Structure 1
Amino acid sequence: MAETKIHPSAIVEDGAKLADGVTVGPFCVVGSDVTLAEGVTLASHVVVTGRTTVGARTRIFPFASIGHQPQDLKYKGEPSTLDIGADCMIREGVTLNPGTEGGGMKTTIGNGCAFLANSHVGHDCHVGNNVIFSNNVMLAGHCDVGDFAILGGGAAVIQFARVGAHSFLGGMSGLEQDLIPYGMALGNRAYLSGLNIVGLQRRGFSRNEIHDLRRAYRSLFAAEGTLLERVADVAEEFKDHTIVMEIVAFIRAGGKRSMCTPKNGGEA
């Protein structure tokens, strides 16, 4: 079993649960309700507090603030939680907030995520696996982010928005609507600029799968009919195409925000 190492200058409060192989570096603070799984590393000057669980082998870098009271003026001290998955990288100055009574009482972060310097996850958010937040990304409260989504530097997402799996939000973009799975949005305010083709190619999607997505995309965002009518047509035509049906399910599920759409037509 790997040795747990706690620097003499660190403060680990009574009640905190540290598994084998945890490293708590200089001037870190670990709260009494915190659980750190095997191999977690707190580099230095890290604060992890609240009812926070950090998954195995996750690394947290200096001046990150993890699990402090959420930035919600309605928060009254309810015992909400923050659950961070395994193998995440949480860089300098990152802030991750727990949930609130008004949002289900928990914030969740999946496995293998990367949060680069000064990025923020607000209260009651749910972030999937293998998500990348570049520097200074701002995710407001109550947002959902799907697996493998990438948010570029300085991007901002409004509260209650959904960011679909395998999507890409460009740097400095302001997203006020839901971004479909496999989509790419750019601009302030963000518009749907096509499909995340580069991301799909990097993750090994076949040419046929990408071709099907392009056809479906053009149909979904064509000029004729309403979006619901076009969704029904695409659902019928592509009912045996799993990745296209992910987009259909995302649109049909709906949310509190409207759908991010292209500026000019449906070109992918």
Structure 2
Amino acid sequence: MTQVHSTAIVDPQAELDPTVSVGPYSVIGPHVRVGAGTTIGSHCVIEGRTTIGRDNRIFQFASLGAIPQDKKYAGEPTRLVIGDRNTIREFCTFNIGVPGAGGVTRVGSDNWIMAYTHIAHDCRVDDHTTLANNTTLAGHVHLADWVTVGGLTGIHQFVSVGAHAMIGFASAVAQDVPPFMLVDGNPLAVRGFNVVGLRRRDFSAARLAAVKQMHRLLYRQGKTLEEARAAIEVLATEVPEAAADVALMKAFLASATRGIAR
């Protein structure tokens, strides 16, 4: 049987796997679906068209699936979709999407999301990210796999942060951050590449050297962005082991819409 505390209010139409547990005084709305093994702490509110996967740990006072903080929103049936094995700490707020922009806010799997994090409408957070306390994502932000964000950081709407990038404490992020880079500050500055994070993910010496060279080409040799992109493309043949890393950088630079942090 689903373990629902006697003081919790779960709408009869909500779909909870029998292995879900719900803590005291939590409220779960009619359009919510929760997968096996997920635990919901006390005083949580989960509403809207929200789908939550397996084995998530949702701590007390989280608010998931509330309407977006967007004046254009008029009650449309938009959604919040959360994957598996996420840790969502106290006072996190994740909003549903808005029409015209996909209408879905997505959080992937295996993310470590710390207290007071806000994920606004139509954001996409992929897998294995770490968002420290008071991380704030405005609408339409995309964080790719393995991104790390330091506490008290704000990310401007429509910004993309590439895979394996790291953003330092108390930063203001108003431009796209390329994969692998290490940035911080207000105004934002590129400090290097995320060598510690990449080593922890077992990047080989050859791959690390290729990432280091991409950082040099983008930030240390006075090249224009187009010149740097052309030089980065050559690395795929020079270091075949890093071809996928080079392809990741090429795709990101080609799709960046807010200009990259430089």
Paired residues of 1:173 and 1:187 also in contact (CA < 8 A): yes
Structure 1 residues 4-153: aligned runs within 5 Å: 4-153=2-151
Structure 1 residues 139-218: aligned runs within 5 Å: 139-218=137-216
The AA in structure 2 aligned to 1:247 is M
Q: Distance in 2 between matches of 1:219 and 1:42?
A: 47
Paired residues of 1:221 and 1:227 also in contact (CA < 8 A): no
Unaligned runs of 5+ residues in structure 2 are: none
Q: Distance in 1 between matches of 2:207 and 2:245?
A: 8
Deviation at 1:224, TM superposition (A): 4.0
Q: What SS does the aligned partner of 1:112 have?
A: coil
The AA in structure 2 aligned to 1:252 is A
Paired residues of 2:235 and 2:246 also in contact (CA < 8 A): no
Deviation at 1:222, TM superposition (A): 4.0
Aligned residues: 258
> Which moves more between the two structures, 232-241 or 155-164?
232-241
The AA in structure 2 aligned to 1:130 is H
Paired residues of 1:180 and 1:250 also in contact (CA < 8 A): yes
Deviation at 1:14, TM superposition (A): 2.1
Match of 2:260 in 1: 259
Paired residues of 1:59 and 1:89 also in contact (CA < 8 A): yes
Q: Distance in 1 between matches of 2:235 and 2:181?
A: 20
Q: Distance in 1 between matches of 2:12 and 2:24?
A: 18
Match of 2:246 in 1: 244
Q: Distance in 2 between matches of 1:237 and 1:23?
A: 50
Match of 1:265 in 2: none
The AA in structure 1 aligned to 2:256 is G
Q: Distance in 1 between matches of 2:165 and 2:198?
A: 9
Q: Deviations over 1:145-203 (max 9, x none)?
A: 00010101111100000011111000101101000111111101211111001100111
Deviation at 1:41, TM superposition (A): 0.7
Unaligned runs of 5+ residues in structure 1 are: 262-268
**Alpha carbon RMSD of aligned pairs, Å?**
1.1
Q: Distance in 2 between matches of 1:86 and 1:237?
A: 36
Q: What SS does the aligned partner of 2:183 have?
A: strand
Q: Distance in 1 between matches of 2:223 and 2:187?
A: 25
What is the TM-score with the length of structure 1 in the denominator?
0.93
> Which moves more between the two structures, 33-42 or 213-222?
213-222
What is the TM-score with the length of structure 2 in the denominator?
0.96
